[in-house]
């Protein structure tokens, strides 16, 4: 198979997308912040691409230096936390899935209000940062 230069490939891509009624515009570099519940992901020096077609407008974020942090706490008044009881089976499952001690798993489950998936994801994300 013949090698294609990146420039030629980009032109071929543009022609193909254009024939499908899709327009792609690179908007440049930006700092992008995405808030997902209790997690905030910031991408520095990410390339932002706008894709516009028959189905509407989309934005694609490519690359960038990732900085994961805690999302800001909601500013509205919340009810006081209720005591959460967790079963030993849940603790064992979270500990095994997140590869942590049972005590760490128990704390994560209590912080997550008993939500198994949230506790596992929280522990896994801590492990990746540390």
Neighbours of 119 (CB within 10 A): 29
pLDDT in tens, 54-80: 878 888 888 777 776 655 555 555 554
Average pLDDT over residues 12-31: 83
Contact present, 122 and 128 (Cβ < 8 Å) = no
Q: In CATH, what is the architecture of 25-73? A: Single Sheet (2.20)
d(CA 21, CA 24) in angstroms, rounded, equals 10
pLDDT in tens, 118-127: 898 888 887 6
How buried is 112 (Cβ within 10 angstroms: 0-12 exposed, 13-18 middle, 19+ buried)? buried
Query: What's the confidence (pLDDT) of residue 49?
Result: 83
d(CA 80, CA 126) in angstroms, rounded, equals 25
Q: Which fold has domain 88-129?
A: Helicase, Ruva Protein; domain 3 (1.10.8)
d(CA 34, CA 41) in angstroms, rounded, equals 5
pTM of the model: 0.40
Q: Do domains 25-73 and 88-129 have the same CATH topology?
A: no
Query: What's the confidence (pLDDT) of residue 74?
Result: 53
Judged against a pLDDT cut of 70, whether residue 129 lies above it is answered with no
pLDDT in tens, 69-115: 655 555 555 554 557 788 898 899 989 999 999 999 999 999 888 88
Q: What residue spans define the domains of the chain? A: 25-73, 88-129
């Amino acid at each position: 198979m013949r090698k294609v230069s990146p420039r030629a490939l980009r032109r071929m891509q543009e022609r193909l997308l254009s024939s499908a009624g899709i327009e792609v515009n690179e908007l440049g570099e930006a700092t992008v912040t995405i808030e997902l519940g209790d997690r905030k992901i910031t991408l520095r020096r990410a390339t932002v691409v706008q894709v516009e077609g028959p189905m509407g407008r989309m934005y694609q974020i490519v690359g960038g230096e990732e900085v994961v942090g805690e999302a800001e706490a909601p500013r509205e008044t919340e009810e006081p936390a209720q005591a959460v009881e967790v079963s030993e089976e849940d603790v064992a499952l979270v500990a095994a899935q997140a590869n942590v001690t049972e005590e760490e798993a128990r704390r994560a489950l209590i912080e997550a209000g008993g939500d198994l998936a949230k506790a596992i994801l929280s522990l896994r994300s801590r492990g990746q940062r540390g």
